[in-house]
Amino acid sequence: MAEQGGQPSVPSIDPAVRLKEARALQRDVLSHAFTQASLDRWMAAAADRLKLFEEMFWGTIRWPRTLGRSAGAALADGFTLSLQYQSLSAVAVGGGAVEVETAWHDLPAPTKWDADDDADHYRVNYAGSYRRTSLNVTGNKLSVAIAGRWINPLGLLGHGYRLPDPLGFGFGGLDGRPIVLPEITVVYHILQPISPWMVKL
């Protein structure tokens, strides 16, 4: 995606075409299990799609129903997603020396929404926009965390806590092509009982 003043510009595509293709993407690809290969095939079927969806990424959080779900109205309420990119800059420090500095910068949080799955799993899809790799951008980082209160419908898990697995991804691309990230799941860690202990103070 071209930049204007350091910010990605919006592709000059008719809004009606944009809406039509966004609906087609949801219907043809995102409404069921999708991969990088299935997204690439869909993108190749129409000339404007790569331009329309450049510097975008998608992913899925899928986990067994036996691990429960968010107590909120939506499955997606059970997760927080944050996105950053890392910048790279050279700074003159005197005497002709140069130091390389890196820094992380926040990007808009990805959009997340509930998706259908089979009788044994829950699924949440997400999508966002990343910064392509360049002389000044080294990569992007997606972080995923459990949010809010969760309901365990069976009450059989025992004392413990849930974590996404993995906790996120580092990713990027030189050409800004649309990216599908690997699937994330949820795991439950049971807290082991600890014997009483004491020390003299």
List pLDDT tens digits, range 112-142.
999 999 999 999 999 999 999 999 999 999 9
CA distance 128 to 110: 4
Task: Assess whether pLDDT exceeds 60 at residue 4.
Answer: no
Predicted confidence (pLDDT) per residue in 18-45, tens digit: 899 999 999 999 998 999 999 999 999 9
Contact between residue 103 and residue 86 where contact means Cβ atoms under 8 Å apart: yes
Could you read off the pLDDT of 140-173 as tens digits, one per residue?
999 999 999 999 876 666 788 999 999 999 999 9
Using 50, 70 and 90 to split pLDDT, how confident is the model at 62? very high
Q: What is the pLDDT of residues 167-186, one digit of tens each?
A: 999 999 999 999 999 999 99
Residue with tokens 């360049």: 134
**22-37 exposure pattern, b = at least 16 Cβ within 10 A, e = fewer:** eeebeeebbeeebeee
Quote the tokens at residue 81.
Answer: 């997603």
Residues in Cβ contact with 124 at an 8 Å cutoff, skipping those fewer than 6 apart: 60, 61, 62, 75, 76, 78, 79, 112, 113, 114, 115
Residue 195 has pLDDT above 80, yes or no: no
- Three-class DSSP category at 143: strand
The ranges assigned to domains in the chain are 56-190
Q: Is the pLDDT of residue 94 over 90?
A: no
